[in-house]
């Protein structure tokens, strides 16, 4: 996309990118690094704005700090880390040249109107909104996709998460499939205005077509009846890492294998639920979440995801119940405690999110 946009915007010498639902900033900073490292010459003297928004003020604060831990940078080389970050104890702080184009602001996609010049949220060349809309109801998604389209310049591009790609929702866009993702381009008549072809695709496996294996899991035994083998935690991290890299099929097989040896491990059921959800297997995902909850009633994350999933399916009463369960579980817990296997999310974060989720259900 970028070489073509740079050619297209030669006159205005302006490039505008929006990351909606940016979390702690990894996504906008990755793009800033890409621009700085690979397009510095072409973009010299340009006005490049990367605007990153989120509903979670704590995430925005962390994003502004630009500090990441080893886990967040686990897939990068030492050389890359040293070039882009300053090492500070256990953390890595992003160097200034990669931060100057990125700004963070609070914005609630479900509440605040856009495009909005007042918010500087308009006329973008690229919009990223990845793994955010998947939790919204279909009608809200449809509305948001329309707003995003309005917020793009003609020829601008939209990128969503793997499970959010949807021909029907994006029917007014031109669809371009590339290895690992789908791009949506705003065109007036869905005919490309400029000729453009992708370079030969790197060697990659075809996207996995995963068939749910029959689940032969009986769960009536109490959790205390089984002790986890020592490497089960490593297996869970491996499943998560594979999923992070979009290796859904490998992640699912590994998770299934773990469940075979550890059928009473609530986290494994929870991960299986997330993988199933990413594959669009919502019913199986709900079942896996319920198994995780059955095995560990005080495990807040499956309750939370059950709430998101039920809300997505339009079951508002069920979703409310699930979110209230999360509040109940968290009420007595220390806010600073980091939730296991949740990318640094703390109890306090979840406590902050749940009331907004419940609020959204009142509408
Ligand atoms: C799963 S994270 C995705 C982060 C990032 N885009 C990615 O793919 O790695 C979802 C993000 O969306 C944010 N979010 C959820 N609801 C939102 C809303 N209504 N408006 C803006 N951001 C929202 C959350 O705070 C969270 O940071």
pLDDT tens digits for range 235-265:
988 888 777 655 677 889 999 999 999 999 9
Which of 17, 23, 277, 363 gets mutated to test ligand 1 (max ligand atoms within 8 A of its CB)? 23
CA of 130 from ligand 1 middle (Å) equals 8
β-sheet bridge partners, residue 177: 182
- Provide the 8-state DSSP code for 123: -
- Nearest-CA residue for ligand 1 atom 13 is 21
pLDDT tens digits for range 75-121:
899 999 999 999 988 899 999 999 999 989 888 998 888 888 777 88
- Is the shortest distance between the CB of 104 and ligand 1 below 6 Å? no
- Is the shortest distance between the CB of 273 and ligand 1 below 6 Å? no
- Is the shortest distance between the CB of 289 and ligand 1 below 6 Å? no
β-sheet bridge partners, residue 93: 67, 86
User: Whole-angstrom Cα distance, residue 299 to residue 297?
Assistant: 6
Which of 18, 21, 162 gets mutated to test ligand 1 (max ligand atoms within 8 A of its CB)? 21
pLDDT tens digits for range 256-305:
999 999 999 999 999 999 888 766 688 999 999 999 999 999 999 999 88
CA of 155 from ligand 1 middle (Å) equals 25
Please give the domain boundaries of the chain with CATH numbers for all domains. 2-186 (3.40.50.150), 223-362 (1.25.40.10)
Closest to 23 (Cα-Cα) out of 51, 63, 50: 63
Cβ burial, residue 200 (10 Å; 0-12/13-18/19+): exposed
- Is the shortest distance between the CB of 349 and ligand 1 below 6 Å? no
Instruction: Give the Å distances, CA to CA, from 13 to 40, 45, 101, 185, 310.
Output: 13, 8, 14, 20, 45
Closest to 12 (Cα-Cα) out of 35, 58, 43, 36: 43
User: Whole-angstrom Cα distance, residue 163 to residue 166?
Assistant: 8
């Amino acid at each position: 996309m970028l070489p073509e946009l740079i050619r297209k915007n030669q006159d205005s010498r302006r490039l505008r990118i929006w990351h909606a639902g940016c979390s702690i900033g990894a996504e906008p900073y990755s793009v800033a690094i890409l621009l700085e490292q690979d397009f510095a010459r072409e973009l010299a003297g340009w006005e490049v704005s990367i605007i990153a928004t989120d509903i979670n003020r704590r995430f925005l604060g962390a994003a502004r700090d630009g500090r990441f831990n080893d886990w967040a940078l686990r897939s990068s080389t030492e050389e890359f880390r040293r070039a882009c970050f300053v090492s500070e104890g256990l953390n890595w702080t992003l160097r200034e040249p990669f931060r100057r184009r990125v700004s963070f602001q609070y914005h609630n996609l479900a509440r605040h109107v856009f495009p909005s010049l007042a918010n500087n949220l308009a006329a973008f060349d690229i919009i990223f909104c990845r793994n955010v809309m998947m939790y919204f109801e279909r009608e809200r998604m449809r509305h948001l996709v329309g707003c995003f389209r309005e917020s793009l310049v003609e020829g601008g591009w939209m990128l969503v998460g793997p499970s959010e790609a949807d021909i029907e929702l994006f029917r007014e866009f031109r669809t371009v499939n590339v290895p690992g993702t789908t791009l949506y381009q705003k065109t007036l008549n869905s005919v490309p205005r400029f000729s453009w072809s992708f370079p030969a695709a790197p060697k990659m496996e075809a996207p996995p077509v995963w068939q749910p294996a029959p689940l032969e899991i009986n769960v009536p035994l109490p959790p205390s009846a089984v002790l986890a083998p020592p490497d089960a935690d490593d297996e869970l991290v491996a499943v998560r890492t594979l999923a992070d890299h979009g290796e859904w099929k490998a992640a699912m097989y590994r998770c299934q294998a773990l469940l075979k040896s550890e059928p009473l491990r609530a986290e494994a059921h929870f991960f299986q639920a997330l993988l199933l959800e990413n594959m669009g297997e919502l019913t199986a995902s709900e079942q896996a979440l319920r198994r995780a909850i059955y095995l560990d009633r005080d495990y807040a994350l499956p309750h939370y995801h059950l709430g998101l999933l039920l809300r997505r399916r339009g079951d508002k009463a069920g979703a409310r119940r699930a979110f209230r369960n999360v509040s109940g579980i968290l009420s007595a817990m220390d806010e600073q405690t980091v939730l296991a296997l949740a990318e640094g999310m703390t109890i306090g974060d979840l406590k902050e999110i749940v009331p907004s989720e419940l609020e959204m259900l009142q509408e």
